[in-house]
Structure formats: C-alpha cells, structure tokens
Amino acid sequence: MYTIKTFQQLLTDKLAKHQGTTVEEASDKDLYYAVASIVKEEMNENWLKTRQKYKEQDERQVYYISMEFLIGRLMESNLLNCGMLDVCTDTLKSLGRDPEAVYNQEHDAALGNGGLGRLAACFLDSIASLRYAGHGSGIRYRYGLFEQRIIHGNQVELPDYWLKEDYPWETRKPEEALKVQFGGEVHTHRRFDGSLEFSYNDVDIVRAVPYDVQVAGYDNDVVNTLRLWSAELPPEDSSILADSESKYYHHLDHMHSIEQISGFLYPDDSHYEGKELRIKQQYFLVSATLQNIIREYKERHRAPLHKLHEKIVIQINDTHPSLAVPELMRILMDDEGFSWEEAWEVTTQTIAYTNHTTLSEALEKWPVDMIKNLLPRVFMIIYEINERFCKGIWFDHPELRDRIPEVAVIAHDQVHMAHLAIVGSFSVNGVAKLHTEILKNKEMKPFYDLFPEKFNNKTNGITHRRWLLQVNPKLSDVITEAIGPQWIKQPSKLIGLMRYSNDQPFLDKISSVKQHNKLVLAQLIKERTGITVNENSIFDVQIKRLHEYKRQLLNIFHVIYLYNELKDNPALDLTPRTFIFAAKAAPSYHMAKEVIKLIHHVASVVNNDKDIGDKLKVIFLENYNVSLAEKIIPAAELSEQISTASKEASGTGNMKMMMNGAITVGTLDGANIEIRDLVGDPNIFIFGLNSEEVLDYYAHGGYNAKGIYHTDERVRKIMDQLNGGEFGSQEIEFKDIFYHILYNNDPYFVLKDFDPYIETHELIERSYRNQKAWQKMSVANIAYSGKFSSDRTIHEYASDIWKLKPLK
C-alpha cells in the first residue's frame, strides 16, 4: 500500500506540520513521534469502524480483565500488523537514519510482572488478529514494573516513570469517566413488598478515567481496544473551598490518596502481599470495568439486563479481579433492582476464571476487616455468597459436610479469593495440561468434586507475530522461502518445515541465521557489560523472574561445577559456553536477591580467570523486560526451563525460545511436557524429578538434602565454596543460601536434581558437537512450535468458554 516514496512524503509532512522540523533536523525522538502518529492515524478509521460494528451487531463479546498487561513497545508490532513495518524501516534507512535507533526511543509499557501480564498482551494481539470482539481492561499505572540496576552485584530498584514523555498510543476519554465508591455506611430500607433496598452514605468517590490503547489485528481491518483506567479526584471535589489550613491539607491528602490507586504496579510475581492499596486497585478496576460493560450493553441492546450473559462474557485473569463476582451482584441488585436469585443466575453465567498458579504463597486471602471497612456493601454480598454456598453443601451434599471449612469463601476471618472466583463463575481453567490436572486432583479437588463441569484446560500460547515475525525477521524469511507464507496466518503450518529436516542447504540457512543473531547479541553484551563473548560458544539462556522454584540456583551450580572441573583439569575438552541470565527479583524477596548476587560474583570470578579464557562466560543482563527479551530470544540455543516439577503452571518463555529454534533443557513441568509430547524425546533434554515424585516427597516430609551434601563431593565442594566465601570477598559471602538449603531441607530439590542436570548437560555438549544433528533438532522445534501460538489458545477460549464467532 505504501511505497518508500509515499511513506517518505507522509513522514516529511508530519514532521513539518506537527513538529516544525525536517528529516535532516529531526532527532530520533522526533522521528519516533512522527511515525507513531502516522501509525495511530492509520489505525483510527478501522478503530472507529470496529467499534461501530460491535455496536450494530448483536454478537457476543468478551472482556478480559487483568491487573497486568505487559505490552512492551508497540511501534514495531503496530507497524507489523498494519503491514507497514518493512516500508517504514526501509524509508528510515533510505533517509540515512537508523530505524533501530528510532524504535528504541519507545519506553516499554511494563504494566505487568512476567508471564501472567505478557500472556494478557499476547491474547489481545491474537483476539484482534482472529477477528474476535474482545476488549482488554486494566489499570494505567503511572509507574510500571521497577527498573533494575545492579550495584556491586546487588539489585537496586528505580521507579519506572514511563509517562515522563508523551505516550503516543493512548487516547484519554474523560467524557466516559465513571465513579467508583469506597468506604461509607450501608443503610437498609424495607420496600413495601418486603424486599430490601440498600443505600450508601459518606462514601469516598474516585473518578475512573479511561485511556484507550488501540489493538490492531494482523492484516485485517479489526482494531480492538485495551482500556486502561486512571484514578482521579472527581472534578466536583476539587472545587470545594478549603476555609482553613487544616482543611486544605486534608484536601491535599485526600487527593493524593485517590491518585495513589493508579500510582504503581505491585512488583510481586506469584506472591501475595495483603496491602490495602492493592485491594483498592483491584476494586477500582473491577467496578469501573463492570459499570462500563453495563453501560455499553445498554447502548447496544434493548434487551433487558437479565440477558447479559447471552451477550457478554468476562474472563478474569487470576483472582486479582475476583471482586467482579460480588460487584456484579451489587450492581444488578442495588442499581438495577434484581433479586438475589436473578443476579446470581446472571453473574455465575457471565464470569469465567483462569488460575495461574498453585503456589500457596500466591493465593490471595484478604482479611475480613479490611474488606468490610473499605467495601461494606461488597462485603455483605460476599458474606451472603458464603452463607448460601456452605448451606447448599450442607443440605445438598451431606457427604461433603466435613469439607466445608476447606471450601468456604470466608474462613478464619479471611476471604479466600480463589474460592470466591470458583463459586461465582461458570468456567475455571488452568494454563497447561499438568497444571489443570493438579488443580482438579489436588489443589482444588473438593471444588472439582462439586463442579466437575466448570473445570477445563487452556494451554498458554504466545503471539508468533511478535515473537517470531517481528523479532526474528531473518528466520521468518528462511521459513517463508521454504514453506510459503501461509504459516503467518496459520502457524500450525510451520509443521511443513519437517520436510526440510534432511535438506542440508536449508539447515545451513537456519544455522547461519542463528549465527547472525548470536553476533548481534554478542555486540549488545559487549556494549552493555564490556564483556567479549565467544560467538562459537553455546548460548545457554535462562531469562525469567527470579524465583526459588525456577531454580536459577541449579543453573549457577552447573556453572560453578564446570569452573571447578576446568580448574582441576585445564586441558579438559569442553565446548565453550556462554551462560546468559536476566531476571528481576521482587524487592522484598531476600533469597532471590541473594541468587542474583551469587550469579554476579560467580561471573566475576569465572569471567576474569585467565585459565578459563573464553571457555566459560557468565553474563547477567540487567533490567530484564519485554524489549530485552526480544533481543535475547532470537540468539538462544539452549532454553533453560528447569523449575521444580509441579511448580511452574505453564511457562511461556519456553515457547518463545522453542519457536526461535532453541532446544529446551527442562523438567517435566508446565508446558514443557506438551513441548516434549510434540517434538519427542530426541528433540528435547528432560531431566530430574517429575511432578509425582516431587509431590510424593512433599507428602512424606521431603528428602534428605544433607545426605546428598555428604555423599556427592561435587555438591559438597560447591556448597562449601558458598559457605567459605570463595565467590565473595571479605564481607560478601553466601552463607544464607548454604543454610537455607541444608537446614530447610532444600524445598526446591536443587541438590536432588543436581546430578541428573549435570549429566544432561554432558549429553547436550556431545549433541552440540554434531552440528548437523543439532540443526535438525532446532528445525523440529520450530516446526512443532505452531501449536504454541496464542492463536490456538484463543481459538480454544473462544469456542469452549466464550462462545464467540469471528467478526464478519
């Protein structure tokens, strides 16, 4: 549609009209804003059309409510989906400008912690690309996930003020603002017919202002919306005259506390902290979203709200938005005059819940008092839901009476949000086969016994548009050259690559793309760390949040082991390795921070040892985020997915690296199992305890960690090096890790899985030496990765849960 010439004209006009500058004069930032504005305008017409279609058509729609949307940068993905990426890149080059430098001007939108938030972003891309009527709803945090700096090996956190400069992809919609109420008192009145009516007094009102972000489908005319809510002081409150100093300060305090609600993203990944501000955020999001849904429904249909569930489905991303259950009840009863029974019928047919973890420390349990004070009416409803649910079991399932305390929504003065979500929804899904089985048979067994029909699996996925087409254009070209372009719209067609697994010229192309990507990453590593890596070494990558269960510690133990081996035997014939880490630790997570520190101290010993040379290098890239992942993943050869079996619900980094031709070394956990089932054992390196063995150990008080310490010399040596300060200097030592493992009996089985892990890495090394065989493995992984496109996942959600048909 555009040519370099026409795009150049557009850009020149834009720069002149909007920035009063020329291509020659323009800074990279000027160019970034000019291109963003072109793309946004390009999307506007379809955005309007899409919204009109949704209004006119009587079709079902989904709202995806999530406390996190980890969207990263939007320039390249918007350009790609609008069919303008190549022409824009070429135009910038033709003008003597560096497109990369222009795109790098964009600050990541880091409105998420990790997997859960990135999944939500991938889903939006797939929903629009598959022409589904879906809307995202989240919070416009003024501060995203903290920026990580490493100082002397220690993580320090900096606030991520990502809105410092204009964010070009959002549109503020003040005329669509809504009011959210907190606190106050509930008054009950009896109507003439004997029913109860509720009104609230002395509430605090918060104004929820939507900021809309366009979500363009790939090569179609759909532009959906991600609506991010911002908390503001209601305008009528700001005109209140303070007639005394104390009133004035009180007013400022009040204003400040309201703005706090959309102030920052909580930085805990799979970890619950019962902070009051956090539940305010959750209720703010849920209440604004539900009011908005009902307003849009009324605009669209003459049908009564009693049919809401026929036209609307609400997917809640984990329990974070689970107040949607009592809030929808509240709106239907108090604002719309429904009876309890009518409201319950509609609510439980509208809401669907996705669970993302079985880690007990992640389960949200809010103190009753907190909810009661903050949301008195919502609490009354939760109380009633619990009463009716427990009574129902008592009378209808006498065989389950003694399990009531286990499943109650309120117990021990806490509201159990997962129970609320399960009871109040019609669908409960896990995010990988194993995870869903663990939910059904263990973690949520009593609920599965009560409501087997609610439970289902939806294995996660990733958008292949961003994670292959956009980040690895060279690999994409090689693929298209071999099997044609159909895979772009039907990623399952990647399987056609299997026909080329013995085609040497094809394998050579695949490996020269990987080599090129490795060189590009090596250059980035050089720029950011000053370290020169051996580009012929194995690029062994573990990039994800830092968590004990993800076992970065096991990985660094392997590094230390190899280092010790090389010191003992300098002539050892070792295939050179570059270990690449990137990870943020939650600011309050002590052990995770210790592991980051350990990685850095091991790195400085290993990287500076003349005896080691370029046989081993340990790289830690700071401030892991979406755009750094985009630079690392295309260059990865080995993908470390080594969580303690049963702990990683799914994982999605595993899918991203597989799709870019890396081979997985991993445990039988999360979606690794489904990767193995597809590619087969010869094309993946599986090691260690499986989930049954792990769960069995837990049931019997764990295994004997000290036993391994005493019998395995390699392990003892490493542990003693940590304890003895070998990788630190003077005051820096790693006694905490040492004692934690030995005296808490190694809850994540690091020592237990050490031996099989080392052995598997020896096998990996032998396999890597046969480059042809390795390339074939790589191709098999790319070929089978089509199943992990989030397009497949979204098709499943749409047909099994949402009952949506694609837009005509």
Q: Which of 77, 72, 35 is nearest to 215 (CA)?
A: 77
Cβ closest to ligand Z2T, residue 64 vs residue 379: 64
Instruction: From 12-20, 188-196, 354-362, 610-618, give the range in contact with ligand Z2T by CB under 6 A.
Output: 354-362
| 318 is a site residue for ligand Z2T (CB under 6 A) | yes
Site size with ligand Z2T, rule: CB under 6 A: 19
Q: How far apart are CA 622 and CA 146, in angstroms?
A: 12
Pick the catalytic residue from 550, 647, 761, 787.
Answer: 550
Instruction: Please list the residues that pair with 312 across neighbouring strands.
Output: 61
Q: Nearer Cβ to ligand Z2T, position 427 or 650?
A: 650
Inter-CA distances, 234 with 208, 243, 540, Å? 9, 20, 52
> Does residue number 72 form part of the binding site for ligand Z2T (CB under 6 A)?
no
Q: What is the dihedral of CA 569, 575, 578, 579, to 10 degrees?
A: -70
> Quick one: tokens of 630?
């985009």
Contacts 24+ apart (CB under 8 A), 691-698: 691/434, 691/438, 691/645, 691/646, 693/645, 694/644, 694/645, 694/646, 694/749, 695/442, 695/646, 697/749
Q: Encoding tokens for residue 412?
A: 């021990």
Residue selected from 133, 305, 415, 431 as contacting ligand Z2T according to rule CB under 6 A: 431
Residues 571-596 as b/e (b if ≥16 CB within 10 A, e otherwise) read eeeeebbbbbbbbbbbeebebbbbbb
Indicate the residue whose CB is closest to ligand Z2T: 115
* Smallest distance from ligand Z2T to CB 417, Å: 11
Q: Is 550 a catalytic residue?
A: yes
List all residues 6 or more positions away from 608 whose beta carbon is below 8 Å from its beta carbon. Answer: none
Q: Is 61 in the site for ligand Z2T (CB under 6 A)?
A: no
Q: Which is catalytic among the residues 358, 652, 664, 760?
A: 652
- Per CB under 6 A, the list member of 26, 119, 538, 679 interacting with ligand Z2T is 119
Q: Which of 47, 76, 110, 114 binds ligand Z2T (CB under 6 A)?
A: 114
Q: How near is the Cβ of 213 to ligand Z2T at its closest, in Å?
A: 20
Residue 626 contacts ligand Z2T per CB under 6 A: no
Q: How many H helices and E strands in the chain?
A: 33, 25
Span from 115-123, 172-180, 730-738, 745-753 in contact with ligand Z2T (CB under 6 A): 115-123
Residue 438 makes contact with ligand Z2T by CB under 6 A: no
Region near ligand Z2T per CB under 6 A, out of 29-37, 51-59, 122-130, 642-650: 642-650
> Is the separation of the CB atoms in 545 and 702 below 8 Å?
no
Write out 616-671 in H/E/C secondary structure: EEEEECCCCCHHHHHHHHHHCCEEEECCCCCCCCCCCHHHHHHHCCCEEEECCCCC
- Compute the distance between CA of residue 756 and CA of residue 542 in angstroms, rounded to an integer: 18
Half-sphere exposure of 644 (CA within 13 A, CB side): 20
Q: How far is the CB of 353 from ligand Z2T (least distance, A)?
A: 12
Task: Look up 356 and say whether it is catalytic.
Answer: yes
Binding ligand Z2T (rule: CB under 6 A), the pick from 148, 282, 287, 650 is 650
Q: What is the 8-class DSSP label of residue 273? A: -
Active site residue 601: no
Tell the residue number behind the tokens 């260690």, with chain if given: 688
- Binds ligand Z2T by CB under 6 A, chosen from 147, 648, 733, 746: 648
Min dist. Cβ of residue 289 to ligand Z2T (A): 19
Q: What is the DSSP string of 203-215?
A: -EEEEEEEEEEEE
Task: Name which position in 116, 206, 566, 633 contacts ligand Z2T (CB under 6 A).
Answer: 116
Which residue is listed with tokens 């294995």? 459
The distance of closest approach from Cβ of residue 450 to ligand Z2T in the complex, given in angstroms and rounded to an integer, is 23
CA distance 495 to 690: 28
Quote the least distance from Cβ 745 to ligand Z2T, whole Å.
23
| Smaller CB separation from ligand Z2T, 30 or 68 | 68
Nearest 5°: phi and psi at 83? 75, 25
Q: Is 461 in the site for ligand Z2T (CB under 6 A)?
A: no
**Per CB under 6 A, 430 contacts ligand Z2T:** no
Tokens representing 363? 């389960």
Looking at 245-367, list the stretches that DSSP marks H as alpha helix, in order from N- to C-terminal side: 245-260, 276-300, 308-311, 324-330, 340-350
Q: Which of 670, 688, 728, 786 binds ligand Z2T (CB under 6 A)?
A: 670
142 included as an active-site residue: no
Q: Tell whether residue 649 is a contact of ligand Z2T (CB under 6 A).
A: yes
Query: What is the rounded distance in angstroms from the CA atom of residue 582 to the CA atom of residue 625?
Result: 9
Looking at 545, 600, 601, 647, which residue is catalytic? 545
Shorter beta-carbon distance to ligand Z2T: residue 37 or 643:
643
> Which residue in the list 73, 544, 577, 740 is annotated as catalytic?
544
Residue 794 in contact with ligand Z2T, rule: CB under 6 A: no
Q: Is 585 in the site for ligand Z2T (CB under 6 A)?
A: no
SS3 content of the chain, % helix, strand, coil (to 5): 55, 15, 30
- Asked whether position 644 contacts ligand Z2T by CB under 6 A, the answer is no
Nearest distance in Å: CB 98, ligand Z2T: 34
Site for ligand Z2T in 236-275 (CB under 6 A): 269-270
Burial code (b: 16+ CB inside 10 Å, e: under 16) for 230-250 equals bbbbbeebeeeeeeeeeeeee
656 catalytic per annotation: yes
CA-derived radius of gyration, the chain:
27
The interface region with ligand Z2T, picked from 303-311, 527-535, 646-654, 762-770 by CB under 6 A, is 646-654
Whether residue 748 contacts residue 646, with contact meaning beta carbons closer than 8 Å, is answered with no
Question: Which segment (295-303, 418-426, 445-453, 644-652) binds ligand Z2T by CB under 6 A?
Answer: 644-652
Decide whether 458 or 615 has the Cβ nearer to ligand Z2T. 458
Residue from 356, 419, 752, 761 carrying the catalytic annotation: 356
Q: Does 691 bind ligand Z2T (CB under 6 A)?
A: no
State yes or no: residue 666 binds ligand Z2T (CB under 6 A). Answer: no
Q: Which of 11, 9, 164 is nearest to 79 (CA)?
A: 11
491 binds ligand Z2T (CB under 6 A): no
Considering only 113, 230, 348, 414, the residue that binds ligand Z2T (CB under 6 A) is 113
Give me the active site residues, please: 356, 544-545, 550, 652, 656
Residues contributing to the site for ligand Z2T (CB under 6 A): 113-116, 119, 269-270, 318, 356-357, 362, 431, 460, 648-652, 670
